[in-house]
């Protein structure tokens, strides 16, 4: 949308503003602020040109690669170069000649720098109120492509890109609702931009103002990714559990916004942060709604079981085999003991060794390029596993359990929650090794206490289970039929 620059008002005497900490009156003074930067940095452009036939000059400054040069060359510069001071005998303010999107006046040197580094076009003129910043984004952009981390079988294949405007447009296109608000915000003291997206009337105003407050209070030098901003938005950033949901799919964000949540998107980051987040929704996938309710519910329950297997199964197995063999039937315990007898390494040592090996393999697979990553998977799963078993370093059942736990961890749709399950596995494993089932249960009680104490923007992380809200449970563990299971507001 094009916006006409407001005419200059409240003209102040020369140098008065500069004395007050504002920008200098003259164009020379203003360009002097940027000329040093332009000399030092090859990508900062500062050029000065005559302003029509007025006898004065004007200057534009921008960062090469971040500004749309075509629009600058075809729209802004000709308008200023061919500036006519009078129209039908009436004086015409210079700013009225330029038509560009989202123009803001700049009042001091610090703001001038901030706007320049945000990728905006800076226009400088003589006089007070002679500095303006315009949204003229340009440069190379990545096209909207398939999601890489949150794939679905039947859902839309559109993921966010690094360009903020493209991302907000993706959401607007899916949610054509007049109540949808896309509110701009600057991240703390950085030059980074972000937007808060929500539906007015559906989102809690207290949550929106709290998000605004936390974004404004960010004290980092730079916030490069959405995940970095997430740490500033979480109530307890040191917790094992993610208290902000991160989505790369526009349809996921739209679904959450419709439920009354807010989305925060950072410029130059292809992910959206969804707030408030609750633990139960980490098990949900957009695919659930593509299936019949029974199938969707089955998959969800499977994910809950997968989480339990991933986090607790190795600990439980070690506790039972090491300390409480009498609890298992003889038919089960006899073969286990037979295998254990053939391996010289103790069971606790095997468990810890395999857990570390697994974490190493996972980390290596993530870091390497995809074609080598697959090889690492094969080497780890097949060759190393078989070799370990053949060399009697580990018992086969222990290998199976740990592999099962790792596989189960991948079934959790939220990547960060999946990583949590890996850490929980270690947290549960260690007390189980030391105190058997009692250690296992105490670790579980502590994890329960921890998860119950978490909140995301004032909403209990365990909601709607604890505190229990029956209506809210409609579409959590069980995927409710579409006609009845209107997604519950948190």
Partner 1 sequence: MNAKEPVIGRAALCFLICCSMVTCIVFSMPTFIAEKTSRGSLWLILGIYPFMVLFICIVKRVNSLFGRLTLREIYVSAFGRAAGGAVFMFFILYTAAVSALFFNIFTEGAAQFFLKETPRLVIRVLTALVLLYCLYRGPAAVFRMNVFFVLQPVLLLLIMAAGVNDFDVKHLLPLDDFGGAHIYDSAALLFFALSGIQIILLLYRYFSAETKKGFAKLSLVTCAAVCLFHAAAFAACFMTFGYGYLIKLQYPVMELTELIENVFMNKMEFFTMLIYAFFGLAAPLNLLSAVSLNIADATDGESPAGRRLRRFMPLLLTLAVLGLGELFGDTEDAGRIMAETLPLSLLFGFGVPSAALLLGRRKKTIVRARAFLKEGDMP
**Taking a C-beta distance cutoff of 8 angstroms, is the pair 399, 389 a contact?**
yes
The reply to whether 449 sits near partner 1 by the rule CB under 8 A is yes
The reply to whether 462 sits near partner 1 by the rule CB under 8 A is yes
What are the C-alpha distances in Å from 294 to residues 47, 151, 206?
65, 21, 37
Instruction: Give the nearer residue to partner 1 in terms of CB position, either 63 or 447.
Output: 447
Q: How far is the CB of 404 from partner 1 (least distance, A)?
A: 18
3-state secondary structure of 310: helix
Instruction: Give the nearer residue to partner 1 in terms of CB position, either 229 or 279.
Output: 279
Q: How far is the CB of 348 from partner 1 (least distance, A)?
A: 16
Q: How far is the CB of 324 from partner 1 (least distance, A)?
A: 8
CA dihedral 470, 484, 200, 248 (to 10 degrees): 90
The reply to whether 213 sits near partner 1 by the rule CB under 8 A is no
Instruction: Give the nearer residue to partner 1 in terms of CB position, either 19 or 326.
Output: 326
Q: Specify the stretch interacting with partner 1 by CB under 8 A; choose among 187-195, 251-259, 270-278, 448-456.
A: 448-456
String of contacts with partner 1 for each residue 385-414, x by CB under 8 A = ------------------------------
Distance of CA 93 to the CA centre of its chain: 43
> What's the order of all strands across the beta sheet hosting 262-266?
180-186, 193-199, 262-266, 272-275, 245-247
How many chain residues bind partner 1 (CB under 8 A)? 29
Q: How far is the CB of 470 from partner 1 (least distance, A)?
A: 8
The reply to whether 480 sits near partner 1 by the rule CB under 8 A is no
Q: How many CB atoms lie within 10 A of CB 66?
A: 17
3-state secondary structure of 193: strand
Q: Specify the stretch interacting with partner 1 by CB under 8 A; choose among 109-117, 128-136, 294-302, 317-325.
A: 317-325
7 secondary structure, DSSP code = P
Partners of residue 448 on adjacent β-strands: none
250 torsion bin: left (phi>0), alpha (psi -120 to 50), beta (else): alpha
Instruction: Give the nearer residue to partner 1 in terms of CB position, either 391 or 449.
Output: 449
Binding partner 1 by CB under 8 A: which of 37, 71, 441, 477? 441
Nearest Cα residue to 7 out of 117, 107, 102, 96? 96
Instruction: Give the nearer residue to partner 1 in terms of CB position, either 383 or 466.
Output: 466
The reply to whether 450 sits near partner 1 by the rule CB under 8 A is yes
The reply to whether 442 sits near partner 1 by the rule CB under 8 A is yes
Binding partner 1 by CB under 8 A: which of 435, 477, 481, 489? 435
Nearest Cα residue to 225 out of 210, 246, 243, 207? 246
The reply to whether 471 sits near partner 1 by the rule CB under 8 A is no
The reply to whether 438 sits near partner 1 by the rule CB under 8 A is yes
Interface of this chain with partner 1, residues 320 to 349, rule: CB under 8 A: 320, 323-324, 326-329
Binding partner 1 by CB under 8 A: which of 365, 384, 437, 478? 437
Q: What are phi and psi of 408, to 5 degrees?
A: -60, -35
Q: How far is the CB of 437 from partner 1 (least distance, A)?
A: 6
Q: How far is the CB of 440 from partner 1 (least distance, A)?
A: 8
d(CA 46, CA 420): 49
Nearest Cα residue to 475 out of 464, 467, 466? 464
Q: How far is the CB of 194 from partner 1 (least distance, A)?
A: 27
Q: Locate tokens 């690492």: which residue? A: 376
Nearest Cα residue to 395 out of 321, 478, 456? 321
Burial (CB < 10 A; 0-12, 13-18, 19+), residue 143, is exposed
The reply to whether 466 sits near partner 1 by the rule CB under 8 A is yes
Nearest Cα residue to 183 out of 209, 162, 204? 209
Instruction: Give the nearer residue to partner 1 in terms of CB position, either 115 or 432.
Output: 432
Residues in contact with partner 1 by CB under 8 A are 320, 323-324, 326-329, 435-438, 441-442, 444-446, 448-450, 452-453, 460, 462, 465-470
């Amino acid at each position: 949308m094009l916006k006409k620059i407001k005419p200059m008002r409240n003209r102040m005497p020369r140098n008065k503003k500069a004395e007050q900490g504002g920008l200098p009156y003259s164009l020379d003074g203003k360009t002097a602020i940027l000329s040093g930067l332009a000399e030092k940095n090859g990508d900062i452009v500062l050029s000065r040109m005559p302003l029509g036939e007025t006898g004065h000059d004007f200057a534009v400054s921008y960062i090469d690669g971040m500004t749309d040069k075509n629009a600058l060359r075809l729209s802004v510069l000709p308008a200023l170069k061919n500036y006519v001071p009078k129209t039908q005998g009436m004086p015409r303010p210079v700013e009225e000649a330029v038509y560009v999107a989202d123009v803001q006046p700049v009042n001091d040197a610090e703001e001038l720098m901030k706007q320049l580094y945000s990728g905006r076009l800076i226009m400088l003129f003589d006089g007070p109120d002679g500095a303006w910043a315009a949204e003229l984004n340009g440069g190379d952009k990545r096209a909207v492509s398939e999601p890489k981390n949150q794939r679905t079988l039947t859902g839309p294949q559109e993921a966010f890109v690094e360009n903020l405007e493209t991302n907000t447009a993706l959401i607007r296109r899916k949610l054509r609702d007049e109540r949808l608000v896309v509110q701009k915000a600057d991240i703390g003291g950085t030059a980074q931009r972000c937007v808060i997206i929500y539906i007015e009337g559906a989102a809690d105003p207290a949550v929106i103002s709290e998000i605004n407050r936390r974004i404004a209070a960010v004290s980092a030098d730079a916030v490069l990714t959405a995940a970095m901003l997430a740490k500033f938005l979480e109530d307890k950033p040191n917790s094992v559990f993610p208290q902000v949901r991160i989505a790369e799919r526009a349809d996921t964000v739209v679904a959450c916004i419709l439920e009354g949540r807010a989305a925060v998107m950072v410029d130059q980051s292809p992910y959206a942060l969804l707030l408030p987040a609750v633990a139960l929704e980490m098990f949900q996938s957009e695919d659930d709604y593509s299936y019949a309710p029974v199938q969707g519910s089955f998959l969800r329950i499977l994910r809950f079981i997968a989480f339990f297997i991933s986090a607790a199964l190795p600990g439980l197995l070690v506790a039972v085999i090491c300390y409480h063999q009498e609890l298992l039937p003889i038919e089960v315990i006899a073969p286990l003991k037979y295998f254990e007898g053939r391996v010289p390494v103790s069971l606790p040592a095997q468990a810890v060794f395999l857990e570390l090996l697994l974490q190493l393999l996972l980390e290596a697979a993530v870091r390497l390029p995809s074609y080598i990553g697959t090889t690492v998977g094969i080497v780890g799963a097949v060759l190393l596993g078989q070799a370990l078993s053949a060399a009697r370093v580990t018992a086969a059942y222990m290998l199976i359990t740990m592999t099962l736990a790792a596989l189960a961890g991948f079934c959790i749709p939220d990547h960060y929650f999946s990583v949590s399950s890996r850490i929980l596995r270690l947290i549960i494993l260690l007390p189980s090794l030391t105190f058997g089932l009692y250690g296992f249960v105490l670790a579980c009680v502590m994890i329960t206490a921890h998860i119950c104490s978490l909140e995301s923007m004032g909403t209990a992380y365990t909601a709607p289970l604890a505190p229990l809200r029956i209506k809210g449970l409609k579409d959590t563990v069980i995927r409710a039929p579409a006609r009845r299971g209107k997604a519950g507001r948190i």
